[in-house]
Chains A and B, each alone.
Chain A
Amino acid sequence: MTRRALLLGAKSPIAQELASRLASRHDYDVILAARNSMQLAPFAADLSLRTGRRAVLLEFDALDTEALARLPEQARAVAGDFDLAVVVFGYLGDQRRAEEQADEALRIINTNYTGAALVLTHLANYLVQRGQPGGIIGIGSVAGDRGRGSNYVYGSAKGALALFLQGLRNRLAGNGIHVLTVKPGFVDTPMTEGLDGLFLVASPERVARDILAAYHRRRNVLYTPWFWRYIMLVIRSIPERVFKRLHL
């Protein structure tokens, strides 16, 4: 039987690296879901030519909450049944603007949390009713581990998503559906292009490799690259009365 993965937010370099690795090393067909998904046609053609696996495009918008319930069925209709769903999409937004304008704050929260949580619910229900082993990978962020003045709107949404994934993992543990929460540090993608103060920037290839290795080992929470687990351990352990005065 063909194994198939659905990737949401397939324009992100992390999603594309995951799709390439799933196809070339794990014999997966892939469903690439994104806004204006036609723009992914070159990537899909390339992946199919190189790996011989099928790559199907699917239109998807995390902010279109009405349509999210239909997504699993649409994916099945265009490509076939899938056993792995990967939620990669996200929106970093602009913290300063989010402090002034409600629509920016809403867009950050709705993309990173509301949209993600809703679609994860539908995907979980779909995978449960299949009655077969499967998996969910959700991409949070190290920014969700502690609120910081410079990006707490984004951070709170990603933190909430991590909590949601934790609950989902608990709920699905008895169904043979594994849930992996990924917390990447800085990754060299368009999301971080031009930002100041980046350090220890990882490549999307590295992050994708870590994610699939962790998924296949049934890990629950992955920090990638690994040292972020310890960096965040230190950051979380700073007492709040000190932390609140730091400029981070």
Chain B
Amino acid sequence: MGHRLTSGWGLYPTVTAHVHTARLPVHLKQLLAAGGTWLPQGNCRSYGDGCLAPQVVSMLALNHLLDFDPSRGTVRAQAGITLDDLLRFLVPRGWFLPVTPGTKFPTLGGCLAADVHGKNHHLDGTLRNFVEQLDMVLADGSEISCSPQDHPDLFRATLGGMGLTGIIYAATLRLRRIESAFIDMRSVRTGSLAEAVQVFSETHANYPYSVAWIDCLARGRQLGRAIVMLGDHAAPASDQPDRELTVHRSGSVSVPFFLPGPTLNRWTVKAFNTLYYHRQWRRDVRTRVHYDPFFYPLDAIGNWNRIYGRKGFLQYQFVIPFNNGMEVMTDILERIAARGAASFLAVLKTMGPQDGLLAFPMPGYTLALDIRRSDDSIIPFLRELNETVIAAGGRNYLAKDAIMPRDQFERMYPGLEEFRRIKRTVDPEGRFKSTQSARLGLS
């Protein structure tokens, strides 16, 4: 057991926590029997305080593969395995994750708890659509397996349930067959937000993966200039068949220390964004790239979260319905640009329909921005933006959130009452609790 300062990937907030490492599934029951409130914790790659609590059980040592069935295309693994580790096993055997977030360092359990989406959300939905079974330990120490057929309520609430319904110790996933580790990528430089959205709508049927990188500091007519990236798994190239299923390399360049606060300011970020935007000279480029830079570009820079300095940063991600989404996004981007709230990346993508009680996605646009926490005045500013999001019928993503007040949360998530009802039945004493769930009234 260790007593240490913990934080999510955004480095804010920090919580001093007792961290107990479960080395065997049986330890989970033993810890729960000892009393108190708990939160299962993975690799802390969610940004805010959804992964934090004063007393956590680290799942990182429960990281074993349990079963792999190539005839059915399924894998069963313990929840503490990272996507990085899963890919190392799956890719050489011709399989890929059905849904992956933009980093390969979260654990499987963390991805299930946040019900993550990927660049293919508009076609495939979130990770929940590929889960066959969850094996869990509940608050009373009992073991239970749930699926869409068995204990469907628990299954529904646990996916996206931020670790608050019980501890997932293993899960079975349906995989995606690939013939190559490479992606056929098309990147299109667009001059405005409207143009980027136009590219999305024209290409959605042809490309399962799509995302746009937006320059938030460009103003006026250039507002929302972007690079739209589209992709699909490549067919094997005939010249080097044995290299077609090569796994990603380990190792990366690392940010060795915290950059001093003022390193990133509106001028340096503007320069970066302008360079990034103009790096692509032609408007429309088609290339073949490995899955690693396509899905996980920032994984190549270890500890990139340190570039925002010791005070950390907030990642602000919201989704809004299509109907007046363009105007709302423009409004929000303008307000962020006017404030000079420096952001390296703004990531835009369209989302499709989604089931789930605390599911983040809905048909519409989602925008994610990094916002340096230079001082706490940024928090009321972002809460004002939340009001705009709510008025447009949208919501914020719990895996990124560190600052949302309870009343805003309650207006964003219509499935909340149903979630609370199920949580009361499986965790009547409120044994599973995070810093976030306490703030949002989820536990």
Contacts and interface: CB of A to CB of B under 8 A. Distances in A.
Interface of A: 11, 39, 42-43, 45-46, 49-50, 190, 193-194
A45 B1 contact: no
B89 interface: yes
Interface of B: 1-2, 21, 23-26, 62, 64-68, 78, 89
What 3 A-B pairs have minimum CB-CB distances, sorted nearest first? Answer: A46-B64, A42-B64, A46-B65
Contacts of A50: 65, 89
7 contacts: A11-B23, A42-B62, A42-B66, A45-B64, A45-B66, A50-B65, A194-B2
B169 to A, nearest CB: 9
A24 to B, nearest CB: 12
Contacts of B2: 193-194
A203 to B, nearest CB: 14
Given A42-B78, A49-B89, A50-B89, A190 B64 contact: no
B25 A42 contact: yes
A39 B78 contact: no
B1 A194 contact: yes
Contact of B65 (A39, A45, A194): A45
Nearest to B24: A39
B69 to A, nearest CB: 11
B64 A43 contact: yes
- Dominant SS among interface residues on chain A: helix
A221 B422 CA distance: 59
A162 B303 CA distance: 43
Contacts of B62: 42
Given A39-B26, A42-B25, A42-B78, A49 B68 contact: yes
- Chain A CB count within 10 A is highest, among B2, B62, B64, for B64
B311 to A, nearest CB: 31
B59 to A, nearest CB: 13
A190 B66 CA distance: 23
Nearest to A43: B64
B65 A49 contact: yes
A49 B65 CA distance: 7
Given A42-B66, A46-B66, A194-B2, 14 more contacts: A39-B24, A39-B25, A42-B25, A45-B64, A45-B66, A46-B64, A49-B67, A49-B68, A50-B89, A190-B23, A193-B1, A193-B2, A193-B21, A194-B1
Contacts of A49: 65, 67-68, 89
A193 B62 CA distance: 17
Nearest to A190: B23
Give the most central of A42, A43, A45: most B CB within 10 Å. A42
Contacts of B68: 49
Contacts of B65: 45-46, 49-50
Given A50-B89, A193-B1, A194-B2, A45 B67 contact: yes
Contacts of A39: 24-26
A45 B1 CA distance: 27
Contacts of A42: 25, 62, 64, 66, 78
A192 to B, nearest CB: 12
A64 B20 CA distance: 31
B437 to A, nearest CB: 28
A43 B89 CA distance: 15
A25 to B, nearest CB: 16
B140 to A, nearest CB: 21
B419 to A, nearest CB: 30
A182 B389 CA distance: 62
Nearest to B3: A194
Nearest to A45: B66
A50 B75 CA distance: 12
B85 to A, nearest CB: 10
Contacts of A45: 64-67
A50 B62 CA distance: 16
A193 B58 CA distance: 14
Contacts of B26: 39
A194 B1 CA distance: 6
A44 to B, nearest CB: 9
A70 B9 CA distance: 52
A190 B67 CA distance: 27
Contacts of A43: 64
Nearest to A42: B64
A42 B26 CA distance: 12
A39 B28 CA distance: 13
A190 B23 CA distance: 9
Contacts of B67: 45, 49
Contacts of A193: 1-2, 21
Contacts of B89: 49-50
Nearest to A47: B64
Q: Which of B21, B65, B66 has the most CB of A within 10 A?
A: B65
A136 B195 CA distance: 69
A14 to B, nearest CB: 14
Contacts of B78: 42
Contacts of B25: 39, 42
Nearest to B76: A45
A17 to B, nearest CB: 13
A39 to B, nearest CB: 5
B29 to A, nearest CB: 12
B137 to A, nearest CB: 14
A1 to B, nearest CB: 27
A194 B271 CA distance: 48
